Amino acid sequence: MAHLLHVWHEMNGWSHKVLPVLAESLDLGRVHNSQISNLRNAKLVSPGPEVFLALAQANEVLFQGIDNFRTSLMEVHPELLKVLLESSIPLMGDHGNPISAGEFFEIFIGVRPLPNSFNWFIKEEEAIDLSGALADLLCQGKSWRSCRKQVMDAYPALKTLRRDRFEAVMAGLQDYTAQELDGELLDLYTTYKKLLLIDSSKVSIKLFLEQLRSRYS
């Protein structure tokens, strides 16, 4: 559960305050900043059912699309609307539907595995090697200068900080940490598919990660 929430926040570039404010603004249930923070760090031992319900209802709102709630959010919390318009990716299960309250609970207690698209277990000690392999794979052995525009156009994240960090990694000036890679992997996978015109039915996100690992093994 901690890994799932961490990745959810990382791939959207959210602070731990976003979901509680969204739940309060649209009357989706009650979840506190501290509960989100503790869930992300595996420190919340026994959250009540209202926490899982609020998470699921917020997730459903994101799945339906922020445009459906734009007017309401503009009235009650325009700053939140601005954040969500930049990035509001929902958590999807393997069945193709947003993760429900029951599924959140089952993941939390360990009777349901993480969705396949979130179950990649990147180790801290391999993050530097994966960062280097990423630049090599996406540029197909070319220099960063020659492939920069094409790669940056394919990278889907809109937040300036994320784009700057991605560009620095691709240029070999920085490396991702394991936690950063956890949050970035979905967008890196999307970038890979766009650049190489790959069908996701032929190359899964796990196979993409295996290809990265094979480049330094």
| Model-wide pTM > 0.85 | no
The number of folded domains in the chain is 2
| Backbone φ, ψ for residue 92 (5° rounding) | -110, 145
DSSP-derived secondary structure letter, 98 = B
| Residue whose tokens read 């090697």 | 129
Structural domain ending residue among the three candidates 118, 134, 154: 118
**Residue 113 pLDDT:** 86
pLDDT digits (tens, 9 = 90+) for 28-59: 998 999 999 888 878 888 899 999 999 999 99
Q: Which of 168, 157, 163, 164 is nearest to 131 (CA)?
A: 168
Same domain for 138 and 34:
no
User: Between helices 205-214 and 127-139, what is the axis angle to 10°?
Assistant: 100
Q: Which residue has the higher pLDDT, 113 or 65?
A: 65
Q: Which two tokens stand for residue 137?
A: 């794979």
Same domain for 181 and 128:
yes
Return left, alpha or beta for 177; rule: phi > 0 is left, psi -120 to 50 is alpha, else beta: beta
pLDDT digits (tens, 9 = 90+) for 119-143: 667 888 999 999 999 999 999 889 9
Percent of the chain with pLDDT over 90: 53
Q: Which range of residues forms the domain containing residue 63?
A: 2-118
**Residue 19 pLDDT:** 95
Cα 124 from Cα 164, distance rounded (Å):
21
DSSP-derived secondary structure letter, 99 = P
- What mean pLDDT, rounded, does the chain reach? 89
Same domain for 156 and 53:
no
Structural domain ending residue among the three candidates 67, 97, 118: 118
Same domain for 96 and 13:
yes
